[in-house]
Amino acid sequence: MDGCIFCKIASGELPAAKVYEDERVLAFEDLNPQMPVHTLVIPKKHYSTIADGIPDDEMGHLFNTAVRVAEAKGLVGPGFRLTVNTGADAQQTVHHIHVHVCGGAPMNSGSPKQSAPQ
């Protein structure tokens, strides 16, 4: 979608530190990490939010990729958090679906915007 920074990262128009890529998804490091591990996983196709009717197979691949990123980062044993901020109350700032994969330190409980360390 025109003007969408994550579409531009998906197409290679903007740079990113890529962690994993296939024909449907891209994983890359967050520009402003809130945790020792803070990676974003996006569908290459533009959807503004997770509530935009993403097909089941794409949703499954998106989340399985997020789990595989967590595995590759060594987070499965200690634990990790997948977060999808959706809409204004959740303070979604980039309107292209992205799954935050966060871990590497103990996190606060509750429903934070981000997975801030304790």
Q: State the residues that interact with ligand 5GP by CB under 6 A.
A: 5, 16, 28, 30-32, 85, 91-94
- Given the residues 95, 96, 98, 100, the one annotated as active site: 98
- Residue count of the chain, please give it: 118
Look up 98 and say whether it is catalytic: yes
Nearer to ligand 5GP, 93 or 111 (CB): 93
Nearer to ligand 5GP, 10 or 75 (CB): 10
Q: List interacting residues with Zn ion (CB under 5 A).
A: 1, 4, 6-7, 46, 96
